[in-house]
Structure 1
Amino acid sequence: MNRTLKRVLGLAGSAVLGLAGAVTFASAAQAHHPEITGNAVCIDGSWNVTWDVALVGPVDGKITDINPTEPAIDGTLQEGATGKNFTGTQIYPGTATEASINVSAVWYEGERNEISDSRDGHVVFQGTCAETPEEPTPEVSANAMSDCFGLYVVVGNNTEALAEITITPSAGEAVTVTPEVGEPYEQYFPVEDTEAGLTVTVTTEEGEVGVFTWNTEELNCDWGFVYDTCDGLEFELTIPENGEETTFTFTTSNGGEPIVVVVAPGTTETVVIPAVDNAEFSVHYVISTQKDEYEGEIPWVPCDEETPSESPSPKPELPKTGSSLSIMIGSAAALIVAAGVIFFLMRRRRAAQDW
């Protein structure tokens, strides 16, 4: 073999060794690499992304870097962890559309043989993940106040989830309403029998809201009577001996001059206000003492000639009092209503033949 042939064979041998080394290196890199799988699930308005990472290789690998680490990763997928399989979860906002991650790892085979590799993981979110708003639940409030004639009830809906509210008196017809938010419903229930009293129960489909009882223990209802006769209204005004001088002013809706009566303690005065042409009318009254002033209104309607009644006929509206005795009721609407002293104990309708 001549020198030229030896030189050619030597170069060919070097090329073969180099090619073998390249094949060996590529085979090691192929056998050592991270394998990443991502899965996204919408939970409570957020995307929960779970990364499953396998460090593929004949020996355990070590995770050297993870990017990004925000959102925070919860699980075994952590920098510095050693092994073959790892899991980590990241939570993305519901408005996000995708998530990506890069994991780098290293394997040690022998004392000096170190192999490293890194791979990317990517997942695209499918659909939307908006947080479902909580459905509002009905919230009903109710309150009541007694006067000398009956019970004044206020109910209301406090949320957009409106509820049907039933108000049932112990005597009389029940009322069912569905008030709008901020628009409380008000109803006055007169007492038909003072001995039997009156209770009003407020309920919804959810159950009982409250039971309210007519109570006049804290009221002064000893100032007289008003009789609803078939000819008009008759006021019998009485001031107890331990009371104070009181001025009563009556103004009718059917015309005429105001009637002013001053009643001294321990005395009784009678005021008769007749109907005009048997037409409906009302009497506005003002009660004045040195300390307070109260007002209210009493309506009158013609008698039913076929069925005259001897039973009491309570006033259908809640009288108003002066500001010194006003109280706040109705938690739903913070409605200011009158509270305090009404001078009528009851109203009675007398038959025409009693006159």
Structure 2
Amino acid sequence: MRPDEILIIDRDTVERCLAKQDPVALVESMLHHHAAGGTVLPAEGYLAWRNGVGAYTRAIAMLGGSDTSSGRTYGMKLINASVSNPGLGIERAGGFTVLFDPETARPTALVEAGFISAERTAAYTMSTLRVLGPAGFDEVSIVGCGTIARAHVRLLHRYFGAVRRIHVHDIDPERARRFASDVTGRFPEYTVDIHPDVHSCVSASQVLVTLTVSDEPYIEAGSLRPGTFVAHVSLDDLRPEVFEHAQAVYVDDLGLVCDNPRRILGALIRDGRVAVPGTSDAPGSGPGRAITGAYGDVLRGALPAVRPDDGFVVSNPFGMAVADVVMGRAVADLARAEGLGVMVDLLGAATRAGGAA
């Protein structure tokens, strides 16, 4: 590649390339490097506004770098979203990841970010389920039936062959029906039960995955069955007592969670109701239990893995853009090797990657 050439990779190509990868292994490798200090994760850029219909709308720019099997990788994920987008028939979030040459810092690839973002999010859940989830399960409850929910079902089918029943709830009943139809159409062996209320969905199985955009906690500890693993992927679904009374609480990055009081766990830390590892319990209105630790430390054997028995275990990832960068690098490497994508000379014309000079 010449210094001003950039490979543009669309969603179809991303899907094609990731089908040949192991997304869980990619995310776990990044988490190993992150726990060992092999990543760089600067503060994100965040811009929010209300669009023409008054809907919450935002742009997030997240830079990251990580050691990988292909060498040091640097990049930036730009992911923008509006909660009114589904009403327009488009996904809530979309954007791209830019990869950088580690020597010249020039952009080398522009990769569609929506699919990768959903895939790495679901891959993180699959990893935590494998290590922290119930010893055996064949049912999963999902709250929120959007794009990321589809990614979770896709990877559940790939990594957990015993799963046969999915319980779902969405505040939009029609979205839940479309989701159920899509799932059974793609995976006929699945049964999808649509729950009219969230609490029956939550209590229907011992694996709960929350994938909403709620900014108001609503899931109570009493709704969870004994022995439940909760993948709290979205922002504010769990009420404070769930964190305060969990057997264990794992995060992907302590600093990110502590520094963001917009999310429920960060607010609980700020208020002294949950403490970070290595600190004394701060005073507050709750028991002030400590977060168990970072999940990457579990993967590298520095922290024990706690599975739920008569209580519940919570995984609360903040979401690290460095995972998108690592996954984008794997996609770009394979796309180049197979002549996929469109090569654009920023100083001139566009050509197919396979025919580029």
Pick the structure with more strand per residue: 1
Instruction: Give the TM-score taking structure 1 as reference length.
Output: 0.20
Pick the structure with more helix per residue: 2
Instruction: Give the TM-score taking structure 2 as reference length.
Output: 0.20
| Structure with bigger RCO (C-alpha 8 Å, 6+ apart) | 2
